[in-house]
Amino acid sequence: MSEQSFVKRFADTPHFGNFPRYAGAAVALFGLLVIASWRAHWRFILQMIPNTAPMQYNTALCFILSGAGLFLLTTSRAMLAPWLGGSAVAITLLTLLEYLSGRDFSIDQLFFKPYFETDTAYPGRMSPLAAVCFILVGAGIMLVGAKKRWPHRLTVVGMLACVTVVIAMVALFGFALGIESAYGWGSYSRMALNTTVEFLLLGTGMLLLSWQSARRENFNFLRWLPVTGAVTLMVMVVFVSAVNMAELKNATFWRQHTFQVILNAHAFEDNLIDIQRGARGYVTLGDTNALASYQASSMLEPQQFKQLVELTSDNPVQQRRLKDLAAAMNDVFDYDQRVIALYKRQGLAAVTRSDASGENRRVFGNARDIVKSFSLEEQRLLDVRDATEQADSHNAERLLIFGSVLAALLLVIANYMASRELRQRHRAEAKLNQALLLQNSILSSADYGIISTDPKGVVQTFNPAAEQLLGYSAREIVGKTTPLLWRDASEIAERADRLSKRLGIVVRPTFEAIATKVQFDQIDEGEWTFIRKDGSRFTSLLVVTALSNETGGFTGFLGIFRDISKGRQQAIEREKLIAELQQALADVKTLSGMIPICGWCKSVRNDKGYWSSVEQYVRTHTGATFSHGMCPACAEKFKTDILKSNPAQPV
């Protein structure tokens, strides 16, 4: 079975044909379930995975509109679908404008106020990635259901659906590998996992619906889809990579920032030790240099503490630790001042008795423990940011590899489809050329006039017999005029009047009078007065029928006529002539289309399925005969075989 016939049989299966309808219904029903889940507090349906973004209320509403629109496109109420798709587009356009302008249009919580938010920049607002997908799908629904249909609208719909599917696939890949930038843009709201699955289903349904519509209209746009998918995938990879690079840059900055905090914390701890060492050196040894060191370190402490506060202003946990540290440092300075004053009044013995209480170790140890806890927290943040930076780097590499491989695969498929279509076109052109040669031989050898026109009546074919009977050359007629040139105007007017009365419509005395009769009666036959180029007249027996292409589409008219003015025909004879003309008409119609001819032996298949040689086929349908010989090229090719069969014959 050929690939084309396999695809056709697969496309004609009931489940495949009804998939867009099933997909639209499923998407709309799940949207209703999410709306019910918001009101019933069913978080497992809203999130699917804990600690991830939920599907927002407006997102579920747009899924109801889009899914219902896709469903209606498969029913007799397709004219309602563009209104639903347009409503989804309007809601999501307002959402994107909110993101871009930084303003709130009161659309996010218009229908429902959410009671929890995870990975959401603004309460109730869908992610910008989801808004873009809704715009693509909504625009596709509007195009399919639009009254005005332009030739390539289905190609656009297929491409929009393809882009939606690729975005959903990249987002799913991001969920699988933990690449947040694949399903969220920067600090904006993330797209939920169930939202991603719904877009994959909705986009696939739209894609199949557009393909099915294109097949009904005898239009193929599949060759555009791999290219569209590859380009979209590359754009997504570039975008996600750019976001990852920005996040890596940001992570590097915060890593350096955390490292700076750790260094400052260590410096603060060292200065704290210097403060204590200076105070103890003075009160135990009476060293005035130690006292000077104590005073210098004490003056440095406020500046170091201020730096720690500024560096950790974005970290509430560390800010609370610094408040505890400030109180502990006040205790340290208060104790040191009391010990120094005691030493000055009562000497070393009094200091020794004071140290025995353990207050010195308690006060200093408390301050130092807080500094160490502060440093450990920053070290933990540094480790987390290092791990995040490495994970982002690995994820970016994996996404780049995945996207590049898949994009390359899609481009290979696109190249294969283009090559296959080119081969099919070449084969069709070859068959068409053979058919044209056969048709030309028939038209040239026929002893009756053969004329074909386009739907508007402009002559397309004018055979030699017609030239001889009418006195015009094909160069004067083809593509320039209609058969009205040699028809009697009074007869055409009379025909138009009869048709107007018979059909109850106004038929004008133009080519319309000929075309209308054929369209209603299929075959028009009768005697008419034809006028030659020199003005002379003759009676012609004419048979006219409509022409169609291989898909049944109307392409024009075909007429065959013969001069019967030399002798008025009797009635068992006129009927015989009409039968001959009708048979000739059928033969010419057969040869005016695509002739089924074997690519190997060049035999031709007739309409009953039997095969015969080209010579026999032409003899059957025309009055042409054949003589046989051998061309010089074939004689040269087969001269060895000729010598063997007749050794005495010189070559």
Q: Does residue 301 share a domain with residue 214?
A: no
Task: Please give the Cα distance from 606 to 604 (Å, whole number).
Answer: 6
Q: Mean pLDDT, to the nearest integer, of 551-561?
A: 80
Provide the domain limits for residue 486. 446-594
Locus of tokens 């010189």:
650
Q: Mean pLDDT, to the nearest integer, of 322-334?
A: 92
Listed ranges 22-31, 579-588, 628-637; the one with the highest mean pLDDT:
22-31
3-class state of residue 630 by DSSP: coil
Query: Does position 9 have pLDDT exceeding 60, yes or no?
Result: no
Q: Which of 172, 196, 182, 169 is nearest to 242 (CA)?
A: 182
Does an H or E element contain 160, and which? helix 153-177
Tens-place pLDDT, residues 142-200? 998 887 767 678 888 888 888 898 889 888 888 887 777 778 776 678 889 999 999 99
**Residues in contact with 491: Cβ distance below 8 Å, sequence separation at least 6, in sequence order:** 528, 529
Q: Does residue 183 share a domain with residue 74?
A: yes
Q: What is the per-residue DSSP string for 12-37? A: TSHHHHTHHHHHHHHHHHHHHHHHHH
Say if CB 484 and CB 500 are below 8 A apart: no
Q: Which residue has the higher pLDDT, 110 or 245?
A: 110
* 403 belongs to a structural domain: no
Locus of tokens 């044909």:
17
Task: Report the pLDDT value the prediction gives residue 602, as an integer from 0 to 100.
Answer: 55
Quote the tokens at residue 307.
């730096």
Task: Report the pLDDT value the prediction gives residue 180, as an integer from 0 to 100.
Answer: 76
Q: Does residue 305 share a domain with residue 212?
A: no
Q: Does residue 570 share a domain with residue 478?
A: yes
Q: How far is CA 116 from CA 41, 47, 86, 120, 197, in A?
A: 10, 11, 29, 10, 22
Q: Does residue 323 share a domain with residue 178?
A: no
From 377, 401, 432, the end of a domain falls on 377
* 548 belongs to a structural domain: yes
Q: What is the per-residue DSSP string for 341-357? A: HHHHHH-HHHHHHHHTT
* 258 belongs to a structural domain: no
Task: Report the pLDDT value the prediction gives residue 303, as an integer from 0 to 100.
Answer: 93
Task: Please give the Cα distance from 367 to 468 (Å, whole number).
Answer: 119
Query: Does position 35 have pLDDT exceeding 90, yes or no?
Result: yes
Q: Which of 206, 219, 223 is nearest to 166 (CA)?
A: 206
pLDDT category, 1, cuts 50, 70, 90? Answer: very low
Task: Report the pLDDT value the prediction gives residue 102, as an integer from 0 to 100.
Answer: 86
**Residues in contact with 647: Cβ distance below 8 Å, sequence separation at least 6, in sequence order:** none
Q: Does residue 321 share a domain with residue 200?
A: no
Task: Please give the Cα distance from 258 to 374 (Å, whole number).
Answer: 12
Say if CB 184 and CB 119 are below 8 A apart: yes
Task: Report the pLDDT value the prediction gives residue 155, as an integer from 0 to 100.
Answer: 81
H-helix segments, 446-542: 464-470, 474-477, 489-503, 511-521
Sequence letter at residue 507? V
Contacts of range 143-146, beta carbons closer than 8 Å, 24 or more positions apart: 144/73, 144/78, 144/81, 144/209, 144/210, 144/213, 145/69, 145/72, 145/73, 145/78, 145/79, 145/80, 145/81, 145/82, 145/85, 146/82
Specify the number of domains making up the chain: 3
Q: Does residue 50 share a domain with residue 140?
A: yes
Would you put residue 602 in left (φ > 0), alpha (ψ -120 to 50) or beta? left
% of the chain with per-residue pLDDT over 70: 76
Q: What is the per-residue DSSP string for 208-238? A: HHHHHHHHHTT---TTHHHHHHHHHHHHHHH
Strands 604-605 and 554-563: unpaired
Tens-place pLDDT, residues 194-253? 999 999 999 999 888 888 877 776 666 666 677 777 777 677 777 777 776 777 777 778
Which letter does DSSP use for residue 390 in this model? H
Say if CB 133 and CB 232 are below 8 A apart: no
* 419 belongs to a structural domain: no
Task: Report the pLDDT value the prediction gives residue 25, as an integer from 0 to 100.
Answer: 95
* 295 belongs to a structural domain: yes
Task: Report the pLDDT value the prediction gives residue 61, as an integer from 0 to 100.
Answer: 95
Locus of tokens 């089924």:
596
* 16 belongs to a structural domain: yes
Say if CB 506 and CB 477 are below 8 A apart: no
Q: Does residue 164 share a domain with residue 281?
A: no
Residue 297 burial by CB count (10 A; 0-12/13-18/19+): exposed, middle or buried?
A: buried
Q: Does residue 294 share a domain with residue 211?
A: no
Query: Does position 331 have pLDDT exceeding 70, yes or no?
Result: yes
From 377, 401, 433, the end of a domain falls on 377
* 83 belongs to a structural domain: yes
Q: Does residue 342 share a domain with residue 274?
A: yes
3-class state of residue 459 by DSSP: strand
Residue 555 burial by CB count (10 A; 0-12/13-18/19+): exposed, middle or buried?
A: middle
Q: Does residue 470 share a domain with residue 348?
A: no
Q: Does residue 288 share a domain with residue 216?
A: no
Tens-place pLDDT, residues 595-643? 555 544 556 555 555 566 656 655 555 555 555 555 665 556 555 555 5
* 232 belongs to a structural domain: no
pLDDT category, 502, cuts 50, 70, 90? Answer: confident
3-class state of residue 444 by DSSP: helix
**Residues in contact with 311: Cβ distance below 8 Å, sequence separation at least 6, in sequence order:** 257, 260, 261, 264
Task: Report the pLDDT value the prediction gives residue 650, as an integer from 0 to 100.
Answer: 45
Q: Which residue has the higher pLDDT, 595 or 562?
A: 562
Task: Report the pLDDT value the prediction gives residue 494, as an integer from 0 to 100.
Answer: 92
3-class state of residue 294 by DSSP: helix
- Positive or negative, the CA dihedral 481, 593, 600, 626 is negative
Q: Mean pLDDT, to the nearest integer, of 553-568?
A: 80
Query: Does position 429 have pLDDT exceeding 80, yes or no?
Result: no
Q: Which residue has the higher pLDDT, 2 or 503?
A: 503
Task: Report the pLDDT value the prediction gives residue 208, as an integer from 0 to 100.
Answer: 87
Q: How far is CA 91 from CA 111, 524, 580, in A?
A: 12, 58, 68
Asked which of 38-47, 261-270, 405-414, 486-495 is least confident by mean pLDDT, the reply is 405-414
Q: Which residue has the higher pLDDT, 475 or 428?
A: 475
Task: Report the pLDDT value the prediction gives residue 324, as an integer from 0 to 100.
Answer: 93
Which letter does DSSP use for residue 524 in this model? E
